[in-house]
Structure 1
């Protein structure tokens, strides 16, 4: 089969070679208008050899001389330079005006900033001064308040500080030489209870006919010391004679005794009642309140009662005195009135010798 192909190719050589006669390829028509206008585009393959009139497509190529064309160009350039210079000058003037305006604005803003800063500084200084003044006033007020509080506290402490009990026993040794050993000691213990515990204490001095002068002397000697201890040395004792309480205004209403002597007892603190055996039962009921130690009629009060008897008891002193007073005040009853009364007024009983 290979041999057949070779034989065929040798028999027809035209089938395997370039033809001798090739058809001529004519020039491609240019891409241009028929009239050859300048707006037409020439084909890139075949240049257009036709003649064109460049006077229409290029207006600067006029049928004038080269000198006139150059002169016109120079004139146009001169005009352009003048216009350019004028424009530059105008631009420069505008730049200068804008710069001046900016400078003026900056100066204005600077002045405003300076004014604002001055106002701000003034306000800051004013606020600082006001704050400093307020703080100073507050500190001064607090210091004054603290000082006044300390002073008040100190004065309160001084007022509340218990007074020293006057040593009656040492100052009146001669007076108590003939009395029992605990006679003066009982008086000082009662004073300490009054001062330290704000209590009311009651003392009964029992004596006989022969010791009446001694009782008066003892009371006159110890009264100033008691007043100095519980109130003031310038105070005076409140003295009541027992028989004076038997007036009808008191026997009908013993409450009047309380109202008549309360203010003076609060002021002075020492009440001396002579001869309680002469007081009627109706009037003595007022001492149920005056001598109350736990619910005192007057705080820090010393009540001294004297009682005269035919003979002072040496033994069973409280029992003898109780029976004697029960006989004197039999009209007030024993159980419901007398017992509470005697328990209040007979807390401490001292016999004068």
Structure 2
């Protein structure tokens, strides 16, 4: 992937120091009013506005040519469309190299859905708390498209359960991002709309404070300038959450398999549970610590807490299985699946909140 600057003279000029962050605008097939949006943003003392042309067609080149001639504006280009996440990372990389003293960036959508006064409010919030991720939280009132209402409501609830962070708007594109967080974001592999969700997960997991600033959002009828595919892009977004449960599901499969084999050979439910839990617990501890929660906490303390959780849940699970078999007349294999499914959510929440910890300052 090659990134080409369309405003090399601007890129080479000194960037004046200011308390406000750099503005970043990822743009794919933007409407002509992008020119007016940039002109309005330039009324405020932002040190720089970085626009990324994410592989737009040639008929939009006049828009990028127009904004590239404005003061304090740099336009970077992708030869092909690489996705909103990659466009943001391209801009972040440019900012880190060319404006290293900035407090961070404020990201703005190119379709005119963010009012300049709200952009300024989020930018000022970042200036007030430069170590916080500042989100422009939309007011889902009035003529908000149904797909936006439903999509945000579902994602908000799923995010709260899996990540443990209650946020009013998980899909907002107006964000104030601290400078020291940009390097971490460059390492995120996602390149599409799911990148913004990965950003929130990473911020939450690393203990970063997240501020929410109420904003208005202007929607055009039927939202014609949006390039969000409600099916494909939603699947990519929710796949982010699947990563959080994949390790636990794999452990559940290992546990059930070992339990079944041991029960077949010994006929002892409790002994089979112990054998299965030892094997699956070892796998689950290592995979969850490294892959899911990316914990850098004290391994001895986490091991002790994890073993305590495993023992407690095993005893509860044994009680449930025994009750289902004795009083419910259920097959022990089916009882095992029912009991473990019931305890899965409790186990995940406890691991997320009390066992595994992340460190914001961990080395790369």
TM over 0.5: no
TM-score by length of 1: 0.20
**Higher helix residue share:** 1
